[in-house]
Amino acid sequence: MIILGLILLIIGIVAGISILTTIGTILIIIGAVLWILGATGRAVGGRKHYW
């Protein structure tokens, strides 16, 4: 999710499409939160591991 967010963010900045930049930023934030929760051992969505 973080990688997809980065790709969309880069495409949005290069192409000048603000909606892709916004979606990319949101995906990066959500991916980082899920990564941190999974790394601390907290169950995410009923699963111990997120991938």
Please choose, from the candidates 2, 22, 4, the residue with its C-alpha nearest in 3D space to the C-alpha of residue 13: 22
SS3 8: helix
The answer, as to whether pTM is greater than 0.85, is no
What confidence tens digit (pLDDT) does each residue in 6-50 have? 999 999 999 999 999 999 999 999 999 888 887 887 676 666 655
**Phi, psi of 11, deg, nearest 5:** -60, -40
CA 9 and chain centroid, separation: 10
Please choose, from the candidates 50, 9, 43, the residue with its C-alpha nearest in 3D space to the C-alpha of residue 28: 9
Look up tokens 């941190």; give the residue: 36
Q: What are the tokens at 37?
A: 């929760």
